[in-house]
Structure formats: C-alpha cells, structure tokens
Structure 1
Amino acid sequence: MTTPKTVAGSIVTALADHGVTQVWGVVGDALNPVTDAIRTEDRVEWIGVRHEEAAAFAMSAQAQLTGRLAVCMGTVGPGAIHLLNGLYDAKKSHAPVLAIIGQVPSEEMGSDFFQEVDNDALFRDVAVWCRTVTSAAQMPLLLEQAVNAAYAEEGVAVLTLPGDLGDAELPDGAHVPTFAPPAGPAAAPLTQIDMAVAAIDDAPKVTLLVGQGAREARTEVLALAERLKAPMVLTLKAKEGLEQDNPYEVGQSGLIGNEAAAKALHDCDLLLMVGTDFPYRNFYPEGKVVVQLDLRQAHIGRRTRCTHAMIGDAGETLRLLLPRLAARSDSGHLDDAREVYEKWRERQAKLAQPDYEKRSLIGRLRGKVDNPDDLIRPEAVAAAVDRHAPQDTLFTTDTGMSTVWFSRFVTMTGTRRLIGSYNLGSMANALPQAVGAQALDRERAVVAFCGDGGLMMLLGDLRTAVTYRLPVTFVVFDNGRLGMVKLEQEQGGLPEFGTELDNPDLAAVGAALGLATRRVTDPEELDEAVAWAIAQPEPTLLDVVTNPQEISVPPQVSIAQGWGFAIAKAKESLESR
C-alpha cells in the first residue's frame, strides 16, 4: 500500500490499519480533506448523522462494547461544540474515543475569526489528551499520542486540525503511525489481600456490592458469594454479566432498587465492594467495615469510607483472595435477604400483567386512583420486551424512568448487553447509542428503551437508522411527561410543573422518517405489538402510550418523602379543580 502523502490521508490510513471501520460525524469545511480520505479508503465507512451529539454518543457506545478505539468528527466551532455531551458520556464511562475536530485556518487562529472556538480550552475538561496540529511535521507523532492516551487513560482524546493542514503534505520520510499495545490485568498486592482477608474473616455478616468492574469475573464473584454466604447487591451496569442464574443476587440499590438490597446492606457487618463506584452516598450503610476492590485507586473511598483497599483487576485479585478466605456454613444473612427479594419480585411481576387492575381488589382500587383511563402500565411494556427479545439482545436505555422499568423487568440472560448514560445521566442517549451499537453488527437485535422526552431531543437521528439500514427497535414509553423530574418534584412536596409534553403522534412521525411503526394504546394489544416490533428486519418504532401517574417507589421511603408526595398530590388535585 502506498504511504499517504497528506496529513488527512495519513490519519485515515493509520486508523484503518489499527482496525477502525467507521467514523461518525457531520461533514464540513476544515475536515473536508479527512472525509475525502475516508471516501477513498475502502476499510472505513462514513456514517453521517443529523446532529454531532449523536455521533459522540454512538462512538461512546461502540467503545464501551468493544474496548477498541471509536472515532467521531465535528468541524469548526458549532460542529465541535455539539460533540461535547456525547464525549462527556465517553469520559465518564471510561471509553476510548478519538474526536477529530476542525479549526479555522492557521493564519486566522486567535483573530476571533468566523466560527472560531478555542478547542484546546473547550475540550480540556472532557479530554485526557487535547492538542492542535500546528504543522504537518508534527504528524504522525500527535496522532500516536492521541490514540495511546485514549487507551491508556480510557477516555477521550481530541485532535484539532486547522482547515489549511488537512491537505498539507507530510515531510519526506514521515513514518507510518504505530500505537502501543494495552497493558494486561494485574492483581492487587498480596499485602493488601491479606489485610482484607483478616477483616472479612472477622465479620459475621458480609454483603457484596458488585459493579461493572467485576462483569468479566463472574465465576470468581459467584464463588466469593458462595464461600461467604453473602447476598449480592448489583449495580445496574453489573446486571449484564452477573444477573443470570445468580442465587445470591438481591437486585439493585439506589432509586431503582428494592427493599431486599436495602436490607442486605443495612444488616451486614462488612460491606465488600467489588469493581464499583456506585455514586449515591445516601444509599450506603453507615458504621460498617468496608473493603473495596477496584482497578482505579482514585475510586477508593470517594463514596463511603474505606477500611481496607485492594487495587487491582477484579478477576485476578479474587483468584488470589478466594483460597485465603474461610468457608462459611451459616447462610442466615443470605437467606433473609433472598426471601425479601423473592417476595418483592412476585409483587413486581403482578404489576407487569396487562390485566393487573382486573385481577384483584387491590389492583382495581389502585387503578381507580392512579390509572382511571386504563392506560398501559410501563411495567407491562418492559416485561413484554423481556419476554420477546432474543437472548443476545443489546439494550440501551434513556436516563430516567425508562431505566427504572428496564432494571426491574428485564433480565440479562444469555449474552445480552446493556449501554446507557449511567454516569453522566444525560437525556437523549438511548437513540444514538442504539444506532451506534447496531452499526457494529446489523444482524444482532438492538432494542432502545426511549423516553418520549429523550427521543424528541434527538429525533432527527431516527433517520440515520433508516439511511444506514440499522434495524434498531425503538420502544417509546410515551407518557407525555419528563417522568423522573415529575417524581422528584412530588417527592419534595412540589406539584408537578413544567414536565408535561404535548407530543405528536410519534408513530406517525416515525413513519414519515421511514421507520416501520405502530402506536399502542390498548393493554390487550401490547404483547402482540412488542413481538411484532422486535421481529421486524428494519428500523422500527413502537409508540406505547403509558400511564404518566405510575409511581416508582424507592427502596427506603423516608417520612419526609412520603409526606412530600402526599402534599404534592393534594396541591395537584386542588389546582386541577
């Protein structure tokens, strides 16, 4: 292969040699030489989105799913700015993403030229590496630094290319870029492990809080729970690898959690955290011995006080830890938490039945209070998707109530995967992350749990799924509300305000954009409609009109929250009259 002679050509060829197969973004001005180099590179597909934010979210998803570099582009000024939200998602998800950014011509930099933005300042917080190319002689060195930094620090690298340098010729003898190999996993030091063992063996009741960092250590984590007879609280991101066939699991904590997880945490003497940076301090138990195992030292003790730390890979460390621990026979702590968990699951399953309000007196009474119009309950939507989605489905969820219903009613069996904006907490992530994931494998089932607010925010990129034949199933929880904000207001004693959405017929909008669509308003039609949507071989939107008054009760409701909710409902009733 002939070595490219221009800066843009060398960038694209080097990325293709590395295995990059797609670049996402919006074409324009300063980056025209780069997109032209992509046009002539058979190994790289250009995906043109309708909003640069969608490109960054899509690449965040791809990098998280593969562990490989994903690449997005945004040109001068506004195009670059639009990337920021998706790039922050990549940053907080520790995803290796390269953003190639356009800039005004070199001679105009610093003159407040049309569309000029100081990219190095703008991206300094989001990026682990951020540089502007000032001459062709700096290449390929800067590209090598960018890619190596994205991998080494598991984050975003930003390479800014002024408009006059993309076509600039490389100096004679410029070498082909090469990227460093990744480091291998390493266990925590034995001194740390031995101190942790002593503390664990001395604690009568141990509870595990297990996160994303342990997903590849399923065998070791289950063996740890068995040896300690310990209930296992999973973070949402740990569901993917640890929920299936797990006799120790007691669900999630936090606002999406349940009373069994709260009980397991409250009743323990020692909390053993494995690969998690679960952020909500209010849901950690107080006065416990805490042992924390994490790959990143910066995570130790920043959510709750840590008594003993182990810094290392979860799987490698647990393989050394397990044979040092004394095996236990008393399973009382585990059994108590599991009993509460199973009873909670039974109650949740009843809510997901389409005829819930007709089955019992409680159901009929609840329906009269919070669902007088017999709208579809969102629990039933999530449960129907769980029934019909293939065992290797890849799911994305919008931040908010869509994630609540997913966490409670979708089981991560088989080889299912899950992506969401679970660290940044952005709106509008499910759609672009789903199209990014689907582009990795157009044969795999991908289902996006979309809130109506989130979908409308990046609605234009539904067309991207059509343009590039990405057969995502978009399931829309169409309750005409910003549901999580509504719940937050009411728990604080405030009447609902500013959360109502005057949505159009989203199925009709989707059809106009070229998707296969259906709108569902009858609970009796829900199951068949979900089965139909998931079976479609093309991009599909299922617009399900759901009950906006459905309540997601947190695992431990305080008196203040309960009183606040009652006051809010009273105010809403008075105002509605």
Structure 2
Amino acid sequence: MFRKKAGDAMMDMLIEWGVDHIYGMPGDSINSLIESIRKRKEQLNFVQVRHEEAGALAAASYAKLTGKLGVCMGIAGPGAIHLLNGLYDAKLDKVPVLAIAGQVETDLMGSDFFQEVDLANLFKDVAVYSQTVMSAEQLPTVVNQAVRAAYDKKGVSVLIIPDDIPKMEIERGARVTSSTLVQSDQIPQQQDIQQAEKLLNKAEKPIILAGKGAKGARDSLIRLAEKLNAPIVLTLPGKGIVPDDHPLSLGGLGLLGTKPATLAMEEADTLIMVGTSFPFTGFLPENAKTIHIDKDPSQIGKRYPVDVGLAGDSELTLSMLTGLIQTPNDGAFLQKYQSQMNDWWTRLKEQEADNSVPIKPQRVIGALQQVAADDAILSVDVGNVTVWMARHFKMRNQKFITSGWLATLGCGLPGAIAGRIAYPHKQVFAICGDGGFQMMMNDFVTAVKYDLPMVCIVFNNHKIAMIKFEQEVMGNAEFGTNLQNPDFARYADICGGIGYRVEHPDDILPALEKAVSGRKPCIIDVVVDANEAPLPAKITFAQMTGYARHMVKELFQEGTIHKPPL
C-alpha cells in the first residue's frame, strides 16, 4: 500500500493551516522539501528570494499585515543563519512565523560535516518552539505543534529537518493530531474593572496611549475617548489604529512624535495604556494615575508603574470601561491640545510645501499623501524615513508596517513584497532611505520576477542620515556615515522594472503619479537634503548643548579650522 513521504505530508499539513506561499532559497539540504512544494505549486507558491534574510523579513511582514502565519526556509548552515535577523524582527514585534531550516542527514549529525551548524542552539533564543525532527513519523505531530505555538504565543517556531527525513515514508500508525487552533476571549477580573472605574470617573486630564495591541478595536477606543474627553496618542507600531486626522488624535509619541502629544502627556493626570509596552518611559507622565490594558498579563507594569492592570482583550475591555464612565471632565484639556494639534498640522503643511533644492524629505511625504489610496500598504524602512512618515503621513485606513522593536535596516523592500503577495489588488509602497534600501536592494529583482507592481521611494542623500544626527546630538563630529550610491533609477531599469530620478520638488508628484499607474515594480530615486535633521518635537537642553559641542568639533577638528568651500 502507498505511504506518504514525510516532506509531502508536511506540505499538505501547511496547506491545511492556510499557508499558500513560502519564502526561501533552494539548496542541497532542503531540495527534498522543495520537491514537495513543487508538486503542490497550484496551492503552495514558492517565492524565491535572493537572500534568506529578505525571506524572513517578508514572512514577518506578511504576519504583521495579515495576522496569518508567515513561512520562510533556508538550507543548513549559511541559509539558516541568514534567517535570524528577520526572525528576531518577528519575535520582537510578536507575530507568528514558521522557519523551516535544513540540516545535514541524521547519520552525519555531530560529525562536523560540511555546513553543519548547531541549529538547536542557534535558534534557542529567537524561538517560542524549536524542534529537530528525527523521524518521518515525528514530523506531522511537530508541524501542528509548531504552527499552533507560533499562533498562540505570537512568535517564531522553528523546525530543523535533516536532509534524509523528508524522503522517508511515514509508517502506518504514526501519531495523528489536528491542524486546528482554539482561542477564547479574555476579560479582566471584576475587582480590577472596579478600580479602573474609580480612577476614570475622577480623571480631569485623561489621555490614552494605544499600541498595536489595540488593532481591531478602533471603534471601542474612540467611544471610550469620546466618553472621557481624552485625546488619543499612538505608538509607532500602533500608527493607523485611529486616523491621524481624527479630532481626538494627537499623533505619535517620542522622538518620532508630535509636540502636542508630548506636552499633553506631561500635563495628564490619568494615563490609559492600551496594548502597548511603551519603552521610552521618559515621555510618559511622572505623577499620573495609570491604567494598563493588555491581553498578556506579563506586559502590565513591565516598564512603567501602574495603578490598575486589566488583563484582557482590548476591544472587550474598552467596551466594558466605556459603560462605566459617569462623570466625564469638562473637555478643556482635550480642547487645548486639539487646538495645538491644528497648529501642528499647519506647520507640517508648510514644511511639505518647501520648494528648496535639494528636496526636503517632508515634501516627498506630502506628495505621497496625494497619490496613496485609502487602503494602500505602506512598508516603511528604518531611519529618518521613519520619522518623516510617522509625523507627516496622515494614516486613514492604510496598513503601516515597519521593524518596530528590532528597528532593522532593510525591512522596507521585503515588507512591500509581502504586502503585494498578501494584497495583490492594492497599492503597495516601500518608503526607504538609501542605506536601508541598499541592504536588500538585490531582492528588487524578486518583485520583477514575480510581477509584483510596487513603488519603492528611495530618499537618496548619500548618508546614513539618522546616525549623522545622533552623532551630532552627542556632541561628536560626523564620522563613517557617508554613502557611495548608485543611480537607483537606472538600477530599476536594469532589473526589468521602471526607474525615475527626481532632483527638483516639482517633479516628485508627476513621478509618483506615473509610478502608481504603471504595471511594473518601480524605484523613484529622490535626491533629498542630507542636512534636514529629524529634530524631536520637543528639544531638550542636553540635545541643544550636544549639538553645540558637535559644531565646535566640526570647526576645530585636529586643531584646524575647516574653511567652507568657495
């Protein structure tokens, strides 16, 4: 009687779990698995990336965008090692990813064979579940367990599969488990709700800080804010939960945030944190009563002292609290910062209209705002571009992803690839600095190969500009931040895409309009001002004095005054 090979059974189970594509690079220790994928290519697409890191970052981005399992794979040794950066991005941003890593054959393990690496220890820190498969019969059970763990614990599961296992037939009577995940709603304890009720009904200057754990709870969040007369501030991973132009929104918080949000936080007497473990506690109130809502009890009070912890689903918990508000404040606190927010948007609009050459980065975001559809996918790389997008782009119903906690350069393009695969009929943008884009630019040809129309906007200033600014704020002279860049527009053409180079502000919008109407992957190479610093919304005295020290060092390096060029 015919018995199924372990590799075939594994792919069938992934299809049962709803997996429809895998990112990876073929190689000798996973060729048997690749063959199993090939035989199911109508149901399970293999997306060949040019670097396994791009595959892992794309898998993490797919999970961030959809909530579904992202899957990537790599060969033993170098391929598996290359996966790590993207897997850490998934771990720290808490999204479900399955990594399939090849390994040398079982009889060669422990013999220091070619490309053998101790993968169990390699993945130990990054994974919520990691298992080396040692028999064909074991594989089906651990596949289910790995996927279930990734979903339940919102993290990375790793299956290390020696090269001989997928070719083995599964004996009859092998253990069979279910490809199902059971979840339940979580609500806080009644005594904690009662404590929160007392604080909320006494609040005169309440403010809400919402993170990505509040996604899917927009309506409940807004209803509570309306009942409390409380402004809403968003973390960077939470950008878009509430539209940026909503009257209750004060935008983001921190170095990437708005001045009204910073000042409102300083004045608030009651802070409601929803679905966030915000790390930059210096931006939070010093003496406010604090209520922290999170589905994961271990996050409550982890970084900032709280008065009441509510361990529960954000939507359910917010709805419960809204019904308990009896004595809202007079709204003066909210109105004060709504007025300041209107002034803030006016100032940003003026920056976006700047007609200087080199082009101001803010001008690019203003043009992007005009062409981006209401449901566009925005994959934002790390660096100064993160600041410009966080401050200037008014999110409505778009999806916004970045590398939030790991903040790894190079995430923009893989995120756009994942966005186009997840949402093939939507606009997709990668917004990248020149440093971040060059880390993964080889996978632009992946977008071309698989006919994934997208627009990659590269802010080209020949600098690792955020590091330049950090050095200056520390009072140091700029060092090691210059970049030697190619012509990114020509590179797009060479790869089979479309490229536009923009050097004048008036050419930005026409280039974007042509790019979004095209049917090919596109790179818009925008030459921007390297000296436009992403200044914090509120500048501290230490930052001012540090920058002053930097200017002195620039003038008197090595005891020599540098004369400006003629």
Is residue 227–residue 327 contact of structure 1 (8 Å, CA) maintained in 2?
A: no
Tell me the number of residue pairs that the alignment of Structure 1 and Structure 2 aligns. Answer: 558
Q: SS of the residue aligned with 2:469?
A: helix
Partner of 1:381: 364
Find the aligned partners of 1:104 and 1:429 in 2 and give their Cα distance: 30
Find the aligned partners of 2:3 and 2:126 in 1 and give their Cα distance: 31
Measure how far apart 1:3 and its partner are.
8.4
Paired amino acid for 2:20? T
Find the aligned partners of 2:554 and 2:380 in 1 and give their Cα distance: 29
CA deviation profile, 1:224-277 (whole Å, cap 9, x unmatched): 111111121111222222125521111111111121011110111111111112
Q: SS of the residue aligned with 2:413?
A: helix
Task: Give the alignment's TM-score, normalised by structure 1.
Answer: 0.94
Pick from 388, 398, 415 the counterpart of residue 416 of structure 1.
Answer: 398
List aligned pairs for 1:441-456, cutoff 5 A. 441-456=423-438
Is residue 14–residue 176 contact of structure 1 (8 Å, CA) maintained in 2?
A: no
Paired amino acid for 2:322? L
Partner of 1:370: none
Is residue 208–residue 274 contact of structure 2 (8 Å, CA) maintained in 1?
A: yes
Pick from 435, 457, 469 the counterpart of residue 439 of structure 2.
Answer: 457
Partner of 1:130: 130
Measure how far apart 1:573 and its partner are.
4.5
CA deviation profile, 1:78-107 (whole Å, cap 9, x unmatched): 000000000111111211111111001111
Measure how far apart 1:176 and its partner are.
5.7
Partner of 1:363: none
Q: Percent identity?
A: 38
Find the aligned partners of 2:71 and 2:486 in 1 and give their Cα distance: 34
Partner of 2:182: 182
List aligned pairs for 1:480-495, cutoff 5 A. 480-495=462-477
Partner of 1:32: 31
Measure how far apart 1:4 and its partner are.
6.3
Partner of 1:396: 379
Find the aligned partners of 1:233 and 1:388 in 2 and give their Cα distance: 26
CA deviation profile, 1:449-479 (whole Å, cap 9, x unmatched): 0110011111210100000111111000111
Partner of 1:23: 22
Q: SS of the residue aligned with 1:139?
A: helix
Paired amino acid for 1:487? F
* Change beyond 3 A, Cα 1:244–1:566: closer
Measure how far apart 1:508 and its partner are.
1.2
Find the aligned partners of 2:553 and 2:111 in 1 and give their Cα distance: 55
Partner of 1:367: none
Q: SS of the residue aligned with 1:427?
A: coil
Paired amino acid for 1:544? V
CA deviation profile, 1:364-400 (whole Å, cap 9, x unmatched): xxxxxxxxxx200000001100111111100010111
Partner of 1:477: 459
Of stretches 36-45 and 236-245 in structure 1, the one that deviates more from structure 2 is 236-245
Is residue 16–residue 179 contact of structure 2 (8 Å, CA) maintained in 1?
A: no
Measure how far apart 1:33 and its partner are.
0.9
Partner of 1:536: 518
Q: SS of the residue aligned with 1:324?
A: coil
Measure how far apart 1:535 and its partner are.
1.8
Paired amino acid for 1:182? V
Structure 2 spans left out of the alignment, 5+ residues:
none
Is residue 151–residue 182 contact of structure 1 (8 Å, CA) maintained in 2?
A: no
Paired amino acid for 1:33? S
* Change beyond 3 A, Cα 1:70–1:3: farther
Find the aligned partners of 2:537 and 2:244 in 1 and give their Cα distance: 22
Q: CA RMSD in A?
A: 1.5
List aligned pairs for 1:79-98, cutoff 5 A. 79-98=79-98
* Change beyond 3 A, Cα 1:327–1:239: farther
Of stretches 238-247 and 492-501 in structure 1, the one that deviates more from structure 2 is 238-247
List aligned pairs for 1:497-508, cutoff 5 A. 497-508=479-490
Partner of 1:75: 75
Task: Give the alignment's TM-score, normalised by structure 2.
Answer: 0.96
Partner of 2:228: 228
Find the aligned partners of 1:329 and 1:206 in 2 and give their Cα distance: 9
Measure how far apart 1:298 and its partner are.
1.6
Find the aligned partners of 2:201 and 2:329 in 1 and give their Cα distance: 13
Is residue 3–residue 10 contact of structure 1 (8 Å, CA) maintained in 2?
A: no
CA deviation profile, 1:58-79 (whole Å, cap 9, x unmatched): 1111112222222110111000
Q: SS of the residue aligned with 1:271?
A: strand
Is residue 13–residue 179 contact of structure 2 (8 Å, CA) maintained in 1?
A: no
Paired amino acid for 1:435? I
Partner of 1:297: 297
Partner of 1:552: 534
Is residue 354–residue 524 contact of structure 1 (8 Å, CA) maintained in 2?
A: no
